[in-house]
Structure 1
């Protein structure tokens, strides 16, 4: 039995376009989800008042962010979502830092706030935000892949 593929060249062109389009749509979806997670984290992050004024009020909240690739040195990392192809689809959500050059803006204490210490109860803002958005994050990436496949299939 012999099988022949009709319009094989057109099919191959579509398949060749799929990875680029899928990557662009996935990156866009990941950015949007990261922005939503960051907004939730910032709304939940306590603004610590330092009696000795060694820390700036709001430094922890302002240290929360996301980046493509690795987080700033010393930051608490929620997750580094890596694609199978490597670093260009790695997004990292983080809080705090270990950069003494930031002075009062160095929010090195992010872990202590999230998990608590003997003298301070935990005030979770970090992982609870991720857990609240985890399903929607996965769904958004899945929708981006499906959208890419549909767009490529619709092109000739």
Structure 2
């Protein structure tokens, strides 16, 4: 087959269209992965259950979505190929303390001057990611390969 101006232009158009097609086909894989990580984080947070508010505050944000306003870096719009799992709410501001633990310290506020012994970390977000990382990477890589294959046909 010879390359003509027409076939060259057609190929250029198809190559330019691949990123958008690929992105659209990858989004479901990312969304499914984010939901799985959030579900595992909720399961792992059961160990720290007091009243269940923390578990109920774990939220998955799909690609292109907007994270909750109470996140550590505030509300932000995610890229079309980015998902997020957040924990916490306006009345549940202790997710980071459960995840990372606290050192012994002197209390302020209502109990000012008393000594707090610190709390042991009960991680749930990072272990949830570690449990799912390989599966997420495989799923997304499969989606990329499939999308590129289908887009180039």
Shared fold (TM-score, shorter chain, > 0.5): yes
Deviations 1:29-57 (A, max 9, x none): 110110110111111113533xxxxxxx2
Equivalences, count:
130
The alpha-carbon deviation at position 107 of structure 1 amounts to 1.6
After superposition, the CA RMSD in angstroms is 2.4
1:135 matched residue in structure 2: 134
Indicate how the Cα distance of structure 1 residues 58 and 76 shifts in structure 2: closer, same or farther if over 3 A, else same: farther
The alpha-carbon deviation at position 12 of structure 1 amounts to 2.7
Is 1:16 equivalent to 2:8 in the alignment? no
The alpha-carbon deviation at position 90 of structure 1 amounts to 2.9
C-alpha separation in 2, matches of 1:112 and 1:70: 24
The alpha-carbon deviation at position 66 of structure 1 amounts to 1.8
Is 1:113 equivalent to 2:98 in the alignment? yes
1:62 matched residue in structure 2: 56
Contact 1:76/1:110 (CA < 8 Å) preserved in 2? Answer: no
TM-score (norm 1): 0.71
Is 1:71 equivalent to 2:70 in the alignment? no
Unaligned runs of 5+ in 1: 50-56, 100-105
The alpha-carbon deviation at position 70 of structure 1 amounts to 4.6
Contact 2:57/2:87 (CA < 8 Å) preserved in 1? Answer: yes
**What does 1:37-56 correspond to in 2, within 5 Å?**
37-46=37-46, 48-49=49-50
**Bigger strand fraction:** 1
C-alpha separation in 2, matches of 1:76 and 1:39: 20
Query: Which of 93, 96, 111 is matched with 2:85 structurally?
Result: 93
The alpha-carbon deviation at position 111 of structure 1 amounts to 0.8
TM-score (norm 2): 0.72
The alpha-carbon deviation at position 139 of structure 1 amounts to 2.2
Contact 1:40/1:129 (CA < 8 Å) preserved in 2? Answer: yes
